[in-house]
Amino acid sequence: MSTPLLRVEGLVAGYGRPVVGPLSLDVFPGEVVGLWGANGCGKSTLLNAIADRADLLAGRILRMPGLVIAYQAQQPIRLPSMPVTGRELLRFTGTSLQEMPAALQAVSRQRIDRLSGGQYQLLCVWAAIAGRADLILLDEPTNNLDPEREALLTEMLTPSRLARRDTSGARLLPDRGVLLVSHERRFLEDACSRMIEIA
């Protein structure tokens, strides 16, 4: 088995006091790992700890050297007036416009303050998936999504979408991983290569 992108050992994390843990997990290249558990069990806090947004109170978080992380929060920030298009936002974040799903291409030319909540959510998830990150953290990425857009999100998380081309551009390399939180078990079962339950 390859070296993990991320290894969590005996983690206890929170915000001044423990919210989640102790727990241990690995995320390997090519994996989409889903976190499942009751509301308030600390799934989002775990993602925040990995992204250095929560306190690590015990244990260790080991990242592959040079690891680049993309973090997508539950509610992507959107100001009341944002006079930039989706394509401009993606260019600004260094996101590839190649192989963008047709449904996103159709809305990417619109101003982002005129997109629906679901359209904007998917655009932000695409920015994380198609960017430079090695490890993608998605917190409740199905927020605001109807069944059609949820199916598109599942498609966006397939190994072929997550893989990057080698330097020659010929071969797809399964070198990235995803760790995501969702309250929708069926989505996790459809989108993830494995699930971890947090008690």
Asked if residue 78 belongs to a domain, the reply is: yes
Catalogue the long-range contacts made by 1-5 (C-beta closer than 8 Å, 24 or more residues apart): 1/28, 2/28, 2/29, 3/28, 3/64, 4/28, 4/62, 4/64, 5/29, 5/63, 5/64, 5/67, 5/134, 5/135, 5/176, 5/177
Q: Which residues span the domain enclosing 131?
A: 6-197
- Considering 24-28, 183-187, 195-199, the range whose residues carry the highest mean pLDDT is 24-28
pLDDT attached to residue 130: 85
Kindly report the average pLDDT of the chain as a whole number: 88
pLDDT attached to residue 7: 97
pLDDT attached to residue 168: 60
Asked if residue 92 belongs to a domain, the reply is: yes
CATH code at position 161: 3.40.50.300
> Which of 8, 103, 76, 88 is closest to 47 using CA atoms?
8
Confidence category of residue 44, pLDDT binned at 50, 70, 90: very high
> What is d(CA 102, CA 9) in angstroms, rounded to the nearest whole number?
40
pLDDT attached to residue 170: 57
**Number of compact structural domains in the chain:** 1
Asked if residue 1 belongs to a domain, the reply is: no
Asked if residue 179 belongs to a domain, the reply is: yes
| Share above pLDDT 70 across residues of the chain, in percent, rounded to a whole number | 94
Helix (H) or strand (E) holding 56: strand 55-63
